[in-house]
Amino acid sequence: MKKFLSKLLIIFIFLLPFPSFVLADDLEEESVDVAAEIESSTVSTKLPELNSRSCVVLDRISGSILFGKNEKNQVKMASTTKIMTAIVVIENTTLDRTVEVSKKAAGTGGSRLGLKTGDKITIRDLLYGLMLCSGNDAAVCLAESMAGSVPEFANLMNTKAQELGLTNTHFESPHGLDSDGHYTTAYELALLSNYALKNADFLTLVGTKNYTVTINGSPKNLSNTNELLGVLDGVYGIKTGFTNGANRCLVTACKRGNMDIICVVLGADTKNFRTKDSIKLIEYTFKNYEYFDLKGFASNYLAEWQKNNTNFFLIEKGTSNHLSLKVDKSLEDYSVIPVKKDLISNMKATITIEPTLQAPVEEDACLGKLSIFSGETNIAEFDLLSSTHIRKNNMFDYLLNFFKFYPSPLEDALF
């Protein structure tokens, strides 16, 4: 018995210096009753209390941040990495191409599709293995098939990140296992997700609850690790994640009516907290926000202002004082914006513009600002442009004006 205990102690001491194996998705047997969490969740106008270290809710139509908690802090992202992996693959290769699994891909640890060296499988099926069961082996196989190696594929990922303006995001792998140079922010992950969801193949991929892939001609059934997909009203994607360094992560796309949002929670202590936080944020958003017709509001306000200020401008040395205004084209990007329901009645606009101008006034010249306020908060500001051209008086104009005000004796005799 003593010898056995001594051997056990030696084994324990030997293993102690080695770090625990790091996972890259939901391999732990932690069950969550999502339906019960939805039923028990309470929604109010108060900001929800959250366990997750960083979170964001992004409106897909306007790009507005509706909720943020440390949303621009650099953090580890675990298998939400695979959002970038998938979109890079989809945009750069034929999905029905068959590839062979390498020894390196087959030996990749963590969450797995279950590939073996020499297996034959299509790119499409690898993508389902990547996004549904979060296969790290599928991620490496895709990277090698696309770029020849994991480092070269990471270069493609970083090039795409730069193209999308993700300045606080950097990739070192296609799977998301913890490393110091592999990070993002909740906000930039939402931006990446918003971009990826515009791709029809990607949208189908992340919205699939169950799928059967074919490996060497044999079928294998997969289930999506996203616990909210098909359960919480309006959820249509997109990706889970877990590593020891990142903790529990979940990116969720949800649409109800005409409102479409992306919710990102990163760094939750448990899967249960990850689920609760996501539900809280999604329900809070749909309870408290609705779209506001910003374009119509701004256009109507400007029209009414011009109607009531027909003699507002004095254009020195100009041929006319009648100047028409328009809002710059950026207003087209803000057809609607999400606004808290209790603030819509407090929406107001102001125009800041100088009444005295010097001719010439060119068409499309920026003359002032139209600002939109929700209560005391400035939520949008647009340039006011001249919609007409008013030229400067020339010598002929001065002579014409002179005769208008000082008629000749001949004109007096005739009239």
CA dihedral over 111, 137, 211, 258, signed as positive or negative? positive
Question: How big is the CA angle at 86 (ends 223 and 206), to the nearest 5 degrees?
Answer: 40
**Could you give the CA distance from residue 276 to residue 270 in angstroms, rounded to a whole number?**
10
Give the C-alpha distances (Å, rounded to integers) separating 177 from 112, 186, 329: 13, 17, 44
On whether the CB atoms of residues 285 and 266 are closer than 8 A, the answer is: no
Question: How big is the CA angle at 124 (ends 121 and 127), to the nearest 5 degrees?
Answer: 100
Catalytic residue among 134, 193, 278, 374: 134
Q: Among this protein's residues, is 134 annotated catalytic? A: yes
Helices within 289-378 (DSSP H only): 294-308
**Could you give the CA distance from residue 93 to residue 85 in angstroms, rounded to a whole number?**
12
Catalytic residue among 69, 76, 82, 280: 82
On whether the CB atoms of residues 110 and 137 are closer than 8 A, the answer is: no
- Closest listed residue to residue 145, CA positions, set 171, 169, 115: 115
- Closest listed residue to residue 70, CA positions, set 264, 238, 243: 264
Q: Is the peptide bond before 360 cis (omega within 30 degrees of 0)?
A: yes
Q: Among this protein's residues, is 62 annotated catalytic? A: no
On whether the CB atoms of residues 364 and 322 are closer than 8 A, the answer is: no
**Could you give the CA distance from residue 79 to residue 81 in angstroms, rounded to a whole number?**
5
Give the C-alpha distances (Å, rounded to integers) separating 285 from 170, 189, 198, 261, 316: 29, 19, 22, 9, 51
Intra-chain end-to-end CA distance of the chain, in Å: 133
Q: Among this protein's residues, is 79 annotated catalytic? A: yes
Residue type for position 169? T
Catalytic residue among 52, 54, 62, 79: 79
Residues labelled catalytic:
79, 82, 134
